Structures are given as structure tokens and as C-alpha cells.
Structure 1
Amino acid sequence: MSRYRGPRLRVVRRLGELPGLSRKSPRKAYPPGQHGQARKKKTEYAIRLEEKQKLRFNYGVSEKQLVRYVKKARRAGGSTGLVILQLLEMRLDNTIFRLGFAPTIPAARQLVNHGHITVNGRVLDIASYQCRPGDVIAVRDRDASKKMVTANLEFPGLANVPTHLELDKDKLAAKVNGIIDREWVALNVNELLVVEYYSRKA
């Protein structure tokens, strides 16, 4: 299944707060659909599926991409769940969002795709690019690009910039100083359940 393009608040109502998908809050506190208010005990599978869906929708990746990240994380060694989160957090579109250059991750992806962002001095339009320590991310030296990002910086999606990023608001540029720590991941997700979900399917 390709990337989700449907109503975002519907997903937020079903899965809970997804800071990367939407900054709006749903008016109804129960899941959508005919049986949204009918409480039903979730199965073990449903709980794990829900955690996996949180990752997919928040970071805007397809199932195929997420499976690829899981396989990469398994090969990397260490805590598979933590590595999955780090791989998703270090994507260029998410980094742009965390810097406050865009209000949501879909908006950040659009900024990247439309050529408004440079990495190490070169225009890069690949949203899935993995940012590495030492990378310098900046807004392209064009009036339209600068105007758009300056407006977004006044109302960032998340208030605080993570410690692994060093932002210079005046220059509209930032440097990646390391890999993100778990405590700075804004999404409320149990990554161990995601690993369990994929280990059952494998």
C-alpha cells in the first residue's frame, strides 16, 4: 500500500496523537466509524498492529519502506526498536520538521521535493535521505524558499529542537551533530511491539 493521502484527523482519532502527521486536535475523543464508541478488547495482534501503524502514518512511509527499515535495523545490531526509530527520525523530511522549517512531516516532504532545501550546499529533493553527523541542512538561497520557511518558523510543529541538531535561525541553516536520542522522539510509541509485530510475520 502506498503512502496515505486520506483524512488525517481520522487516523489521529484511531491511533492517538501523531505530531508529524497533523497539528490539529480531533473534536471527538473516540475512534471513527460505526463502532467507534463501542469498547472492544483488543487482541495481542491488534495492539502490535496499532503501534506499527503509528510509525507508518506519523513518518509518512509505505509498508514496503517500513519493512526495509526493520531489516536494516536488524542488520545494524543493538536494540532493533531503537535503530528503527533513529532511522526514521534521521530522514531528511523529518529533520526539516524537527527544525521547525515545516509544520508537519508531509509539509516538510513537499519542501524537499520542490527543491527548497540544500544539504551540504547542494539542492536535494530526496525526502528519505538519511542525515548523517556533519551534514549542513539549509534553506535554498531564493526569496520564495526563505519566505516560506521564515513563516513556518514562527509556528513550528514542535516547540523544541532536539539536541542532535544545531539551528541558526538567522541563516536558516542547521548542522547535524549526531544521532537522535530516544528521549527526543516526539511520537508516543512502543517500538518493542513493532519489532514483535514484524518478527511474528517473518
Structure 2
Amino acid sequence: MAKYTGPSCRLCRREGGKLFLKGEKCFSDKCPVSIRAYAPGQHGQRRSRVSEYGTQLREKQKIRRIYGLLEGQFRRYFERASQARGVTGESLLRFLELRLDNIAYRMGFGASRAEARQVVRHGHILVNGRRVDIPSYQVRAGDEVSVAESARAHARIIAAVEAAVSRGLPDWMSLDAKALKGTIKAVPVREDMAPDLNEQVVVELYSK
């Protein structure tokens, strides 16, 4: 399967903002986006006019890279969102937010979404007491997500949970940091999701 193996921070610089791909480094002064706030490459500092299509493409790439999806996976989420009730763009973001790897990241069971995805794949995450090792598993309101007993002593998980608690969790979930388990209190609505994402232009891009 195709996989990006280059520097993660290069993707952030290309999209013009932090995608939070490197865990705690993204919150430190060492973040390359803060040091070099322009696109990578020899032409990165040039100011060029961006077309409507270019704007739509960049926003799509930004959202796709935040959640760590390949193009085919992202398009399938869009097709599913377009068939769901409600606003297509909001449904798209909701499906992405309710992925198990993203939930694990939000609760601090991984310092980044990539690390949380690895924790899920290794079978360290339980949903309602059952082991689930599928990162794309869709969590629902009322579900309890916890760390398996065998992984509760992992130093990286403990440190990631402490960092997540210090930053604060979304209102639609709760977390018991000592027990390493959390609950999805409600399905997130648009106001609960990232305000700097423009999902509408992605809808326009795929609707052409």
C-alpha cells in the first residue's frame, strides 16, 4: 500500500499550518512551521496566485493529511458522507473524527494520530471491553474506549495522556486519566470540530 515516508513536518509547511503530525514537537519552539512559515523547496518563499481549483486541492490535502488517509480512503469517506443525512461536509468531518485511531489520539493514548494508529493496530485499545485493532473502526456515542491492561504501564501512553489532559479534551468526550479510559458522550457537531478546516471547498472539488 502507498505510504508517505518523507519528513512529516514538510507536509505541515506545504499546507501552510500545523497538522499536528509529530506529537509534542508540534507544541514546542522546535516546530519547523514556527521557524520557517513558508512552503518547502527552492520556490517555497515565492508568492504565487492560487486558482480556485488550487485552493480546493490544498484544503483536501490538508484534511487528508491531518487524519492520515490515502486518496482512495478519503474519497470513500466522501462518498459515504454524500449519501448520509445532513450536510455533506459536516458528515465527512464527523466520520473522520469518529475513527478509532482519532479517538485514541484525542484521548491521549498516542502522542500523534500515527502513534495512536499503531497503538490500535497492536491491539492495545478496547471498545466496550472488546479488543479492536482496526484504526478505521467507527466509534459511536456511548462507547467506552480504554487501554488494554497489558499496555497500561507503557511510558509513552502515560506521557501522551498527561499531555492531552493538560491541553484539554473536546466537550463531546470524557476521560478518566488514571483508569486510562474514556467515553464518547455525544456525536460531535460542526462547532465541536476544527474551525480552521473548510470542508465546503472539498465538497465543491469532488462535486465537479
TM-score, normalised by the number of residues in structure 1: 0.92
Q: Return 50-59 or 169-178, whichever deviates more.
A: 169-178
Distance in 2 (alpha carbons) for counterparts of 1:134 and 1:152: 23
Q: CA deviation at 1:146?
A: 4.8
2:182 corresponds to: 174
1:184 corresponds to: 192
1:155 corresponds to: 163
Distance in 2 (alpha carbons) for counterparts of 1:157 and 1:169: 8
2:64 corresponds to: 56
Instruction: Say whether the 8 Å CA contact 1:102–1:157 is kept in structure 2.
Output: no
Counterpart residue identity of residue 64, structure 1:
G
Q: CA deviation at 1:132?
A: 0.5
CA deviation digits over 1:128-155, x for unaligned, max 9? 0000012110000125655432121122
Distance in 2 (alpha carbons) for counterparts of 1:64 and 1:194: 14
Counterpart residue identity of residue 80, structure 2:
K
Q: 1:199 aligns with which of 198, 203, 207?
A: 207
Query: What stretches of structure 1 move > 6 A for 4+ residues in a row?
Result: none
Distance in 2 (alpha carbons) for counterparts of 1:157 and 1:13: 27
Distance in 1 (alpha carbons) for counterparts of 2:57 and 2:104: 28
Counterpart residue identity of residue 11, structure 2:
V
CA deviation digits over 1:32-53, x for unaligned, max 9? 1121111100011110000000
Distance in 2 (alpha carbons) for counterparts of 1:137 and 1:50: 33
Superposition RMSD in Å: 1.9
1:32 corresponds to: 40
Distance in 2 (alpha carbons) for counterparts of 1:125 and 1:72: 22
Q: Return 111-120 or 158-167, whichever deviates more.
A: 158-167
CA deviation digits over 1:138-193, x for unaligned, max 9? 00012565543212112239812111112111211111121112223237210000
Aligned residues: 200
CA deviation digits over 1:25-72, x for unaligned, max 9? 212111011211111000111100000001110000111111111111
2:10 corresponds to: 10
Distance in 1 (alpha carbons) for counterparts of 2:166 and 2:69: 20
> Equivalent residue of 2:45, what SS?
coil
Give the number of the structure with larger relative contact order, counting CA–CA contacts within 8 Å between residues 6 or more apart.
1
Distance in 2 (alpha carbons) for counterparts of 1:39 and 1:119: 48
1:22 corresponds to: 22
Change (3 A) 1:187 1:22: farther
TM-score, normalised by the number of residues in structure 2: 0.89
Q: Return 27-36 or 138-147, whichever deviates more.
A: 138-147
Q: 2:138 aligns with which of 127, 130, 135?
A: 130
Distance in 2 (alpha carbons) for counterparts of 1:121 and 1:145: 18
Instruction: Say whether the 8 Å CA contact 2:152–2:180 is kept in structure 1.
Output: no
Q: CA deviation at 1:123?
A: 1.1
